[in-house]
Structure 1
């Protein structure tokens, strides 16, 4: 779908310079001389490069709609993560690097959303929160409240997070997968 340069919004996915770009920041500028334009910070969805581009209102760009499909995480095989399409039951392998450090939060049977463009996966979204058990937690030092009241802890998947002093090893907590941070105790 073609849109004008002044209609670009953060989060839009655009086809520009024969590649796929996500608009990260958009600033509309009206200089004293000349026509108005949109200063757009773009991030390449295929290789991660960044680009700053000016689009005048007369410029047209192709806005791309990505297909979003739910997949179920099955298992890890070497450096590959295996997912199953919830509708067709076909399996798809993604490199662990594709998911990044959040791959540590994948659990058997977890449903993730994969963004697909022209039959090629270009993004993955994990659930916002996961429940994990604390395997190690530092002891609380009395009188430590003047500094940060959080202490380091290690989760069952090996990831380190900061938790409140009342959290002990063996407890289950809810962790934010985007921020990789403690949210609250699990029920």
Structure 2
């Protein structure tokens, strides 16, 4: 199997090396202008920086395949410097530095399933579930006259994240949260 992709074979989801960084292809469009040479416009997202960029490539260009591996794991615990995970297949403990975890720390509760993206034997990304159930640990009580105009209030969840929730949500309620948008979805019965 080749270590390179031709520009015509690029499709969303492929992992390639661009500017010496692993990236994932978001979209690829063939463009035939009225004048000049045809090209392919590729939108990609860097795993390391998280930035999304568009570049144009000639038909003869090739992109190197990124040797990236996904590891299914279970989140165990953290010590505020490292977050520890258990590899589901080898049962090895994997530690991830705080900078890689970043904002995703708010979606990691002990024993939750997630996947780790590994490149050159280093974890470069932690992928959490799109939806997670969390307990409300603090929220303000509803004042009757405010509930008519304001249908949302702030709540602090068990992981420390603050989000807007409907006025009827109380302390100790469990709610479903969209981790991509940091948004309340529903109350969990």
Which TM bucket (shorter chain)?
0.7 to 0.9
What's the TM-score once normalised by structure 1's chain length? 0.85
1:115-152 deviations in Å (ceiling 9; x for gaps): 22232222221122222111222333445567552221
Structure 1 portions without partners, runs of 5+: none
Q: State the Cα RMSD in Å.
A: 2.3
State the match for 1:126 in structure 2: 128
Structure 2 portions without partners, runs of 5+: none
Deviation at 1:27, TM superposition (A): 4.0
- Which deviates more from structure 2 when the two are superposed, residues 56-65 or residues 169-178? 56-65
State the match for 1:7 in structure 2: 9
What's the TM-score once normalised by structure 2's chain length? 0.84
Distance verdict in 2 for CA 1:49–1:172, change over 3 Å: closer
- Which deviates more from structure 2 when the two are superposed, residues 36-45 or residues 71-80? 36-45
Query: Aligned to 1:112, which of 111, 114, 118?
Result: 114
CA contact (8 A) 1:5 1:37 kept: no
User: What is the rounded CA distance, in whole Å, between the counterparts of 1:66 and 1:97 in structure 2?
Assistant: 19
State whether structure 2 residue 39 is matched by structure 1 residue 37.
yes
| SS of equivalent to 1:98 | helix
| SS of equivalent to 2:115 | strand
State whether structure 2 residue 85 is matched by structure 1 residue 98.
no
Figure out how many residues of one structure are paired with residues of the other and give that number.
187
